Each structure stands twice: as structure tokens, then as C-alpha cells.
Structure 1
Amino acid sequence: MSKVVLITGASSGIGKSTAQLLSDKGYVVYGTSRNTKEGNQDYKMISLDVTEVSSIQNAIRTVVESEGKIDVLINNAGMGITGPIEDTPTDEMRKVFNTNFFGAIDVMKEVLPVMRKQKSGCIINVTSIAGYMGLPYRGIYSSTKGALELAVEAVRMEVKEFGIKVTNIAPGDVATNIAAGRYHTPVFDDSAYKEKYQMNLDLMDSHVDSGMDPLKMAKKIEKIINTNNPRVHYKVGGFMEKFSIVLKRILPDKVYEKLLMNHYKL
């Protein structure tokens, strides 16, 4: 029987590319987004808002009632946020944590009983290389992804005895529309960070525009699905993006901080 895959945030970017690739390869794919529209895709799209537990429950119930199982969950839904910590409204920070961290956790919590009953399953959480370091003007985004990485390390050990595989996959910059969808703290005229924040906003947008094709992530996700014993962490990106994680591990903190400050012209 074909594996049944549930993908959150499948209306664009990594989620859409992954849904299409897996569908082409014969998987039964259910993509989700908050607002679903009929399209010409080869997979089913259902409504799911990761910040609403009832919405998560309804979506999972729909898949299980239709297919009798969920073999793979790809926790991909997320949103970006930029801004100096001091200038960024705390309520906006909470919204991003509710999506990127608590949303992913809540989807896992609803899928785990299904997989435990099956005595099998695979959960792949899409995090970010940004989650391995506190990036200036992206500190909250880095925090949400870093928190998810650590929580998943724990979940992975907790569910291993039930035959459930859990892993993280952290992309670098991807050519998606996340820049358009992220919350941008305004560049306030009276902000102490005005000039450097604006400069870094432009830098971030250029990185996304020149980022890797999301199909590269989709292909890696498909390989992980078919791996008997997935690693705890995967990183997908350019050499320097992945090497930056190695450097943080081996360099003194202040040396690494200086490298980041030079890169972001701070």
C-alpha cells in the first residue's frame, strides 16, 4: 500500500514542492493550509490552522477516516519575523511562537496516538539553519526554530519504543515567498536601530531571492522517509550555511559573534 503523507503548509514553497514530488512518486498526499483553494495539483488539500487545536483534530480525523492511517507527518507550516528585539511587539513574537513552535508540537501531539496504534510512523519537522544561532534582527525566528529542534530531540527519544521515527531537517535560505509572508517590524524613524535594521532587511530579502530551489528540500525529505534509522538532525543548504554551524561548535563564543557582526555589518 502507498504511504499516506500529511504535509502542513503545503500551499507554497517547501511544502508545495514536497507535496508534488511525493504525489508524483505514488504517495497518497494530503497537503494543508489555512485557506484551501481548488487547484490543479495532484494531491488533496485540506484546511488546517496549526494555531487551532480543533482545526488540527478535524484535519487528522479527515485523513484517518479516508485512508485508515497516517504514515508520515511533515511539519512544515511556519512564518517569519524580523526586527530588533526592542522594537518588535511582544504579541507578534507570541504569534510566531504559536505557529512555528506550539503549532508544530500540537500537530505532533494529535498524530502520535495514530502512529502509536499503527506501531509505525515518521515525523519530519522542518526547522531552519537559523535555529542554530541567534541572528541579529531575526532573533525571534531563530528562537522558534531552535526551540523546536530541542523539543524534537526529546520527543524522538520518548516515542522510539513505539516504532515512530522523528527527525528535524533544517534548510538554509530557500527561494520561497516567506519574505512576503513574514512579519516585518516597521523601520521606525525614531528607532536606534533604523539604519542597520533597514540594511539587514535588504540583505535578508536578497538571500531569500537567491536561495536554493525548494525541490532540493523535497528530494531530501523523500530520502528521509525511506531511511530506516533517520539521523537526529539534517541540514540542507549552501556550504557556508552548513559550515556556520560547525564554526559555532568549535570557535570561542566571542570570535563567532564577531564573525556574525562582520557579516551583518554591525
Structure 2
Amino acid sequence: MDKKVVLITGGSSGIGKSIGTFLTEKGFTVYGTTRNPKNYPNFDAFDLVQLDVKDVESIQKAVSEVIAKEGRLDVLINNAGVGITGPIEETPHEEILNVFDTNFHGPIHVMKAVLPQMRKQGSGLIINVTSIAGYMGLPYRGFYSATKGALGLITEALRMEVKEFGVKVTNVAPGDFVTNIAAGRYHAPVLDGSAYEDKYAQTLDAINNDVDTGGNPIQVAEKVFAIIQQNNPKVHNPVGAFMQKFSLKLKSLLPDKVYEKLLLNHYKL
């Protein structure tokens, strides 16, 4: 068979670019997406196409463009996403809607766009990039956790629905990696006199430090490559520092209140 054709949303920077570059070096035909390719005039790691996950028309156009050029689409990597932090009580609702549109509704729209081609081929692989944060409700990151947790559940359901068509669905859940996500993340402001002022500011510093000292995103690219090689990928594929992955095991073993206490101690709350 010809080289596998891969479409990566959010492919112009961060984890998406690392995955695309790695897969290109491995011989895949890679298309990355970005909302505005004109912002990357010197980008030459792989082809970039215009796609905004909040714009269904742009999704359909991008997917059709790739299929028209290549005649097939073998792998979708739903990577585009945004971060958000803030107290649940004080986060503006329009920002809550935006993060769900980007991190949850967007990937669903992209999956809907590629599935007809994959069913026609009788093969395909969808990898949803979720997060280790999606397995637990984290303080001051509740909405981010909720979007990634919801996408993880959709992954579980869709996997069973499309199995008969030869389409495989899985997720890769990164921990903290050094990327530019903090620059694009929405931070609810630390409000003077707020009941959450001190604890939120303290937690925000800890979150940013975790990203700044995170791992190399090439680890995520290597995990994605390994998943593509598998005949029957697992449902969940966490990748990150040992303690971040181990925290998932602890959550499954410990009583809820004990695990909550560990999180409270970690964030000094």
C-alpha cells in the first residue's frame, strides 16, 4: 500500500507539530491544519491546510482537499485544543463555551467529516489527543479536565460503534510537556479581593511551572507512532512523567477522599 495519509489538527506548533514532523520523517504523508496558514509562511515540516475546528465548513473543505489530493485518509489525529484556568465560580461563561467548542465539539465535527471516507475504505484510525487531566477534576482547571474527560468518553463509545467498519479509535493522553499552550490558554483573572485570590494565584504558578518543566513533546510523537503500528490499540494511552501516569493507577485504587487529599496536598490547598 502507498504511504499512509495522516491529518493532524492543530499541526502548526506544539505537540501537533512534533507529531507531524516525526511521522513525516518515518515516511508518512502528513497534512497539518491551522486556522491561518498565512501566519506560517516559512513552515516546511509538512503541508499545512486551513481548518478551524469551530467552523464546520472549513473542516469539510480541509478533509475534502486532502482526500482529493491523496485518494484516501488513513489516520486522523485530533490534536487541536486550548487551555483554560480559573475558579469555576468566576470563569466567564463565554469562555466555558469556547473551550468546549474547541476541545470537545471541534473534534466531534472532524471525526464526522472523516468517517465516511474511512468507512468507504474499510479502514482508518482516529487518535484523539485528550489529557491526563481528563481523568480527574483538577482545581482551577475543572473546565479543561471536563472537555478532555468528555472527549475520552466519546472515544470509548465511538470505538465500539465503528469497529465493524474496520475503523479503530483510541486516545493518547499527554501529561505536562514543554509547549506554547500557556501562551494561548485562557486565564480567568486573579481578582483582587476574590475569595479565591490567593489559592488561585498559587495554583496558577504551579500549573505554569509544571508546563515549563515538562517533558519533550517528541515522547507524544513516539507514542502516536507506536499506536499507528498496532493492530488493536488500547483505548487509553497515557504518556508523560512516571508520577503523572502513576496518578491514574492511584485514582483507580484509592478511595475518592484519599485521592482528593493527595491532590489537595500537591496543590497546597
Is TM > 0.5 for Structure 1 vs Structure 2?
Answer: yes
Aligned counterparts of 2:42 and 2:129: Cα–Cα separation in 1: 24
Aligned 8 A contact 1:79 1:182 in 2: yes
How many residues are paired up? 266
Amino acid in the other structure paired with 2:25: D
When the two chains are superposed, the root-mean-square deviation of aligned CA atoms in Å is 0.7
1:2-28 CA distances to partner (integer Å, 9 max, x unpaired)? 000000001111100111111111111
> In the aligned structure 1, how far is the partner of 2:8 from the partner of 2:41?
17
Query: What residue number does 1:9 align with?
Result: 10
User: CA offsets per residue over residues 233-252 of structure 1, 9 Å max, x none?
Assistant: 10101111011111111111
Determine whether 1:119 maps to 2:83: no
User: Could you list the runs of 5+ residues in structure 2 that have no partner in the other structure?
Assistant: none
Q: 1:40 Cα shift? A: 4.0
Q: Deviations over 1:143-178 (max 9, x none)?
A: 000000001100000000000010011010010010
> Helix, strand or coil for the counterpart of 1:234?
strand
Aligned residue for 2:162, secondary structure, equals helix
Partners of 2:41 and 2:76 in 1: how far apart?
22
Q: Please report how far the alpha carbon of residue 81 of structure 1 lies from its aligned counterpart in structure 2 after TM superposition.
A: 0.1
Aligned to 2:232, the other structure's residue is in SS state: coil
3-state DSSP class of the match of 1:29?
strand
Aligned to 2:177, the other structure's residue is in SS state: coil
Identity within the alignment, %: 64
Question: Residue 221 in 1 paired to residue 220 in 2?
Answer: no
Question: Residues 120 and 162 of structure 1 are in contact (CA less than 8 Å); yes or no, is this contact kept in structure 2?
Answer: yes
Give the one of 41, 47, 52 matched to 2:50.
47
Measured after TM superposition, the shift of residue 38 of structure 1 is 2.5
Counterpart CA distance in 2 for 1:172 and 1:61 is 33
For the residue of structure 1 that corresponds to 2:231, the secondary structure is coil
CA distance in 1, matches of 2:95, 2:193: 20
Residue in structure 1 matched with residue 110 of structure 2 by the alignment = 107
Q: SS at 2:18's partner residue? A: helix
Task: Tell me the TM-score normalised to structure 1 length.
Answer: 0.99
Quote the residue 2:72 is aligned against: 69
Query: 1:249 and 1:95 mapped to 2: Cα distance?
Result: 31
Contact kept? 1:101, 1:145, Cα under 8 Å:
yes
For 2:139, give the aligned amino acid: P
CA distance in 2, matches of 1:253, 1:79: 28
* CA distance in structure 2 between the aligned counterparts of 1:40 and 1:238, rounded to whole angstroms: 30
Does 1:150 find its partner at 2:153?
yes
Q: TM-score, normalised by structure 2?
A: 0.98
Counterparts of 1:121 and 1:204, CA distance in 2: 36
Counterpart residue type for residue 247 of structure 1: L
Looking at structure 1, the residues matched to 217 and 55 of structure 2 have their Cα atoms a distance apart, in angstroms, of 27
1:133 is matched with 136
- Residue 33 (str. 1) matches residue 68 (str. 2): no
- Could you say what secondary structure the match of 1:249 adopts? helix
Match of 1:247 among 240, 246, 250: 250
Partner of residue 240, structure 2: 237
1:190 Cα deviation from its structure 2 partner: 2.3
CA gap of 1:259–1:42, structure 2 versus 1, over 3 A, is closer
Q: Aligned residue for 2:197?
A: 194
Report the equivalent of 1:169: 172
Query: Secondary structure of 2:215's match?
Result: coil
CA distance in 2: counterparts of 1:87 and 1:41, whole angstroms: 42
Q: State the alpha-carbon separation in 2 of the partners of residues 39 and 226 from structure 1.
A: 31
1:257 counterpart (240, 257, 260): 260
Instruction: Please say if 1:86 is aligned against 2:99.
Output: no
8 Å CA contact 1:20, 1:41 repeated in 2: no
| Counterpart-to-counterpart distance in 2, 1:218 and 1:250 | 29
Unaligned runs of 5+ in 1: none
Q: Which amino acid aligns with 1:55?
A: S
SS at match of 1:122: strand
- Paired with 1:260 and 1:180, the residues of 2 have a C-alpha distance of 25
Separation of aligned partners in 2, 1:264 and 1:82? 14
Distance, in Å, in 1 between the alignment partners of 2:194 and 2:142 is 17
- Separation (CA, whole Å) in 2 of partners of 1:143 and 1:227: 29
